[in-house]
Structure 1
Amino acid sequence: MPRSRSWLPLLALLLLPLLSAIATAADDTRPNILFLFTDDQAPWALNASGYDQAHTPVLDSLVKEGVYLTNAFTVTPVCSPSRASLMTSQYGSELGITDWLHPQREPEAGLKPGTLTWAKVLQDAGYRTGLVGKWHLGLTDAMHPTKFGYDYFMGFRGGGNSPKNPTLEKNGETKKFEGLTPDILTNHALEFLNVDSDKPFCLSVHYRAPHAAWLPVADEDWAPFKDLDPMIPNPDYPKLNVDRVKKMTREYLASVASVDRNVGRILNLLKEKNLDDNTIVIFSSDHGYNMGHNGIWHKGNGHWVLTENPPFTKNIPKGQRPNMYDNSIRVPTMIRWPGVVQAGSTIDKTVSNLDWFPTLLEMAGAELPADAKIHGNSFVPLLKGDDAKWDNDFYAEYSTKHQSHTHMRMIRTSEWKLIRDFLNEGRDELYHLTEDPAEANNLIASNSPEVQSVIKQLDAKILANMQAINDPVLKEAKAKSSN
């Protein structure tokens, strides 16, 4: 006669806590993720990039201990749409965020509630998530970072702040903090890391630096630059205001140094807590920066830095130079992943901020929801050294609407770059990157059959990408051409 199995449900009930504990212990093998993110960080402003006047020993150590992605880009070279694409793997035009969010003109604008982010997926997968620093994806409570997957937020919801004595939010309370902003943000990042938890963590630290205004900084960050006569990229550029460029370069480099020092504080804590071997450290930025390059300073919404500016046009005010130069769209990116990434290696494949969503999920072993809509691809195979097929074509967009009005759409290959402005006739640009990496010679008006063939091919790629994301600018362009 078979024995009764009435005890099985009771046994299962008794074993449930043990099984749960075993599952939690298994989860502990998942890597922690530290995502360090700066504001207006130029790849050229790193000693490791070859600019030896930069003081970046900590960031350079990440290059030596990890992998350096030399062709990492953002799909929009200004704060809010770049950050939106980072979090969602969608283009700003799909999200209704095409330029930086202006707090006075559009206080209700931002990331639509319910939009899926990688922070939310990691949170649902059991990660303890935190954001310290800049959000700039909406001011309202419905667009608060904690609505998009962050358990903890300390920082500021808008885009602007001060390099000293900033007004910040912590635990839902907004108040003024005393001290230098990079140091304050780092203090609270350390506080988050010092909390003991059974869960792996994913901490995003979004520094405001090196966004202008750059000063003040700590004395030790200013010391290497106060008497420096900095090298600048093209001092012979016609009518370049060399003195102003050099002054701004000194201040900018000092702000970069303040980030470097504070990143060192965080990495030191990881080492002290024996977390460094199981923590993926990522460093990147929302976009690049120009400092006299091509006669401008700033990012995609660039400003001329000349003694005499070109004339204004209907949609481009005097002093403005909206652009999609590589210095605006390329971002410094390095990853330290002990045991996985080969120390001191480089990857020259083209990646973008759209790729972070699937990459971070694969790093964490988290599943992408079946109904998720993303455009990026995980570059974990590249990090592991796999000989994976990879498309180096890169599509980007930028519709400016504050200082200027444009509808720029861009395709970049390893050899060429084509930029179309669908709003302003005469602003199209073509650069032969392999021969002209500084993008000094616009070939758009060339009568060369080879160049015209390239334009035709790249133009078709731009239109195909616009159609694929249902870009509203394409509809406007078609309506305009039919009138």
Structure 2
Amino acid sequence: MLLRTLAVLGAFALTSCATLANGQSAEATSQEAAEEEKPNILILFFDDLRFDSFSYRGGPVPTPNIDALAAESTRFDMAITTTGLCSPSRAALFTGRWGHRTGLDDNLGLWTSRLNDMNPEEGGFLRDAADSGYYVGYVGKWHLGERGPQIRGAEFAKLDAEVTAGIKPYTPYAGLEIIRGYNSGARDAGGEKHQYYQTTAGGYEDTPAAEKVHDGQELIRNAARRGEPFLGVVSFQQPHPPYRVPEPYASMFDPAEIALPSNFGAARKNKPLAQEYAYWPWHDVGHMTETDWRESRAKYYGAVAMIDRAVGDLIRTAKEEGIYDDLHIVFLGDQGSMIGEHGLYDKAAYAYDELMRIPLLMRDPDAKPGVVNRHVSLIDIPATLFDWMKLTPSKPIDGRSLAGVIDGSSALTGPDDALYAFEWYNGAWFGLRAIRTPEHKYVWNPGDSRDELYDLVTDPGEVTNLISSREHADVVRQLRGRLLDRLEAIEDPSAKKLQSFIERTYK
């Protein structure tokens, strides 16, 4: 299948060269009009932010600022990330291209990682926006190589230090010793375990989140003064584990009163072997008691509450600067995270909903708010941005634009499903591919003899793997074919391996 390249919209399609009374051509006038209509766009991006904590979703954390944004946005309540890992999901977001196209399918600059940065030729929507006259700014976490936004045209850039800054990768030697201590009964000050949860000193203004807010406010004020189209990204590292927050957020939720999910600590029976390994020292959670897990979840909820304040601060600044009414906003997380579900912490090569699903709000100020409960993907966001900016991407992109869904001019059609991949994890190959429908999830594990099938209606916690169930044999076969179709559609090289597997299995 040919890659989807977005068509040039409306005003750019006018090609008449008739001369107007003022000496300008109709083409020049139409281009100027298109420039005037280009919207301002602000992307609020969060790290390992789960979909299920906000009050607008019925979650346990009061999030009035995010709820207010949701009430003005199109809520994509079945949004799925491309990969449950920071660098690959971010590469997919900023380029609109799957990892097999960009070569970015693993984390960068970490212990046993294969890669150091994303190919500079993958400019993505940052470079295309800058080249078209947008004022582009970037704040916070990038995790795709040093000076990545700057070499893609960002005029305003205040970035976190990249882990690729040194010749040698970050290696968690200190973390190993700390976890060994926990396994021997040691704890940190106050009885906490700072590799998982911690009450930090100071208050909100002393946090990295507040620093991102201040930098983001500076970006917004600069953009308002310049009076030209702008695209800004404010990228927070929170609430990535470990969950570390100051007061009052550290004590905002009583661990003893937290409701644990049905799959909390569930025994991993009939699961792929990879789920039994600690790929980082803190993945060794044998020392974690139920109280520890409750504390971790309480601090995570506190981090979400702090994020809500950060969102409110940035939106208030946009209103004060007089640009909010016409501002397009995207609010999302790069992937989720595990907080004791299936006895897992953080992330690794699996496809559970707690990792796959992400929050996604897209605000078009001229569109009626709504809720979409069909599957969409993180990789659909760049196509939508290009439609909003009235630009044609300089490189072919994957994904479909959601702009028509947001403004009501079109609807999602075709099968209701989403594709997910987890190719590498810090140098270890898995090649995992998964397809999620409203009823089932099928996970193909080419590096393991055991695949996975979950009935999401009767078993939303994905505890029981039905891959060997005779009653579900037809479902497995159908979903394998459906997954193959999706892989072939994006020209994923793994499609050939899956096709061969299907042929051998059902010959």
TM tier, shorter chain? 0.7 to 0.9
What letter corresponds to residue 149 of structure 2 in structure 1? P
Counterpart for residue 50 of structure 1: 58
Report the Cα distance in structure 2 between the residues aligned to 1:447 and 1:255, rounded to whole angstroms. 44
Question: How far apart are residue 273 of structure 1 and its match?
Answer: 1.4
Counterpart for residue 356 of structure 2: 329
> Does structure 1 retain, via aligned residues, the 8 Å contact 2:264–2:342?
no
Counterpart for residue 253 of structure 1: 301
Matches within 5 A, 1:347-386: 347-369=372-394, 372-386=395-409
Counterpart for residue 32 of structure 1: 40
Match of 2:160 among 132, 156, 160: 156
Matches within 5 A, 1:133-152: 133-139=140-146, 144-152=148-156
Counterpart for residue 448 of structure 2: 424
| 1:412 has 2:436 as partner | yes
Counterpart for residue 243 of structure 2: 214
Report the Cα distance in structure 1 between the residues aligned to 2:442 and 2:86, rounded to whole angstroms. 22
Question: How far apart are residue 136 of structure 1 and its match?
Answer: 0.7
Report the Cα distance in structure 1 between the residues aligned to 2:238 and 2:337, rounded to whole angstroms. 12
What letter corresponds to residue 257 of structure 1 in structure 2? A
| 1:289 has 2:317 as partner | no
Matches within 5 A, 1:86-101: 86-101=93-108
For the structure 1 residues 156 and 71, does the alpha-carbon distance in structure 2 shift closer, same or farther, using more than 3 Å as the test? same
> Does structure 1 retain, via aligned residues, the 8 Å contact 2:42–2:233?
yes
Question: How far apart are residue 466 of structure 1 and its match?
Answer: 3.5
Report the Cα distance in structure 1 between the residues aligned to 2:350 and 2:229, rounded to whole angstroms. 40
- Between the two proteins, the alignment pairs up a number of residues equal to 422
Question: How far apart are residue 46 of structure 1 and its match?
Answer: 0.9
Question: How far apart are residue 113 of structure 1 and its match?
Answer: 1.6
Question: How far apart are residue 354 of structure 1 and its match?
Answer: 1.0
Question: How far apart are residue 204 of structure 1 and its match?
Answer: 0.5
| 1:65 has 2:72 as partner | yes
Question: How far apart are residue 225 of structure 1 and its match?
Answer: 2.6
What letter corresponds to residue 70 of structure 1 in structure 2? D
For the structure 1 residues 184 and 25, does the alpha-carbon distance in structure 2 shift closer, same or farther, using more than 3 Å as the test? farther
Counterpart for residue 466 of structure 1: 487
> Does structure 1 retain, via aligned residues, the 8 Å contact 2:264–2:341?
no
| 1:446 has 2:469 as partner | yes
Report the Cα distance in structure 1 between the residues aligned to 2:499 and 2:28, rounded to whole angstroms. 58
| 1:390 has 2:413 as partner | yes
Question: How far apart are residue 106 of structure 1 and its match?
Answer: 4.7
What letter corresponds to residue 474 of structure 2 in structure 1? S
For the structure 1 residues 236 and 254, does the alpha-carbon distance in structure 2 shift closer, same or farther, using more than 3 Å as the test? closer
1:127-176 deviation line (CA, Å, top 9, x unaligned): 1111101111123x5xx222224222111253699xxxxxxxxxxxxxxx
Report the Cα distance in structure 2 between the residues aligned to 1:382 and 1:22, rounded to whole angstroms. 26
Report the Cα distance in structure 1 between the residues aligned to 2:78 and 2:89, rounded to whole angstroms. 16
Is the deviation greater in 103-112 or in 350-359?
103-112
Question: How far apart are residue 198 of structure 1 and its match?
Answer: 2.7
Report the Cα distance in structure 2 between the residues aligned to 1:238 and 1:413, rounded to whole angstroms. 23
What letter corresponds to residue 64 of structure 1 in structure 2? A
> Does structure 2 retain, via aligned residues, the 8 Å contact 1:135–1:159?
no
What letter corresponds to residue 297 of structure 1 in structure 2? Y
| 1:455 has 2:471 as partner | no
Report the Cα distance in structure 1 between the residues aligned to 2:352 and 2:113, rounded to whole angstroms. 27
> Does structure 1 retain, via aligned residues, the 8 Å contact 2:266–2:463?
no
Matched position secondary structure for 1:203: strand
1:273-310 deviation line (CA, Å, top 9, x unaligned): 121111012110100122222332323x1xxxxxxxxx
> Does structure 1 retain, via aligned residues, the 8 Å contact 2:266–2:341?
no
The two structures have a TM-score, normalised by structure 2, of 0.75
Matched position secondary structure for 1:215: strand
1:385-440 deviation line (CA, Å, top 9, x unaligned): 345242322121102333854221111222221101101112x1001223322222
Counterpart for residue 83 of structure 2: 76
> Does structure 2 retain, via aligned residues, the 8 Å contact 1:41–1:286?
yes
Matches within 5 A, 1:124-139: 124-139=131-146
The two structures have a TM-score, normalised by structure 1, of 0.79
For the structure 1 residues 198 and 443, does the alpha-carbon distance in structure 2 shift closer, same or farther, using more than 3 Å as the test? same
For the structure 1 residues 346 and 104, does the alpha-carbon distance in structure 2 shift closer, same or farther, using more than 3 Å as the test? same
Match of 1:401 among 400, 425, 430: 425
| 1:191 has 2:256 as partner | no
* Cα RMSD after superposing both structures: 3.2
Question: How far apart are residue 346 of structure 1 and its match?
Answer: 0.7
Matched position secondary structure for 2:424: coil
| Aligned sequence identity (%) | 27
Report the Cα distance in structure 2 between the residues aligned to 1:338 and 1:88, rounded to whole angstroms. 25
Counterpart for residue 314 of structure 2: 266
Question: How far apart are residue 253 of structure 1 and its match?
Answer: 1.2
Matched position secondary structure for 1:407: strand
> Does structure 1 retain, via aligned residues, the 8 Å contact 2:367–2:406?
yes
Unaligned ranges ≥5, structure 1: 1-10, 162-177, 302-321
For the structure 1 residues 477 and 336, does the alpha-carbon distance in structure 2 shift closer, same or farther, using more than 3 Å as the test? closer
Unaligned ranges ≥5, structure 2: 1-18, 165-169, 171-204, 268-287
Is the deviation greater in 190-199 or in 432-441?
432-441
| 1:179 has 2:206 as partner | yes
> Does structure 1 retain, via aligned residues, the 8 Å contact 2:50–2:336?
yes
Report the Cα distance in structure 1 between the residues aligned to 2:31 and 2:403, rounded to whole angstroms. 25
What letter corresponds to residue 278 of structure 1 in structure 2? D
Matches within 5 A, 1:104-115: 105-106=112-113, 109-115=116-122
1:61-117 deviation line (CA, Å, top 9, x unaligned): 111222211011111011000001111121123322222223454586221121140
Matched position secondary structure for 1:192: helix
Question: How far apart are residue 461 of structure 1 and its match?
Answer: 2.6
1:345-375 deviation line (CA, Å, top 9, x unaligned): 2111211111111100111222334xx2211
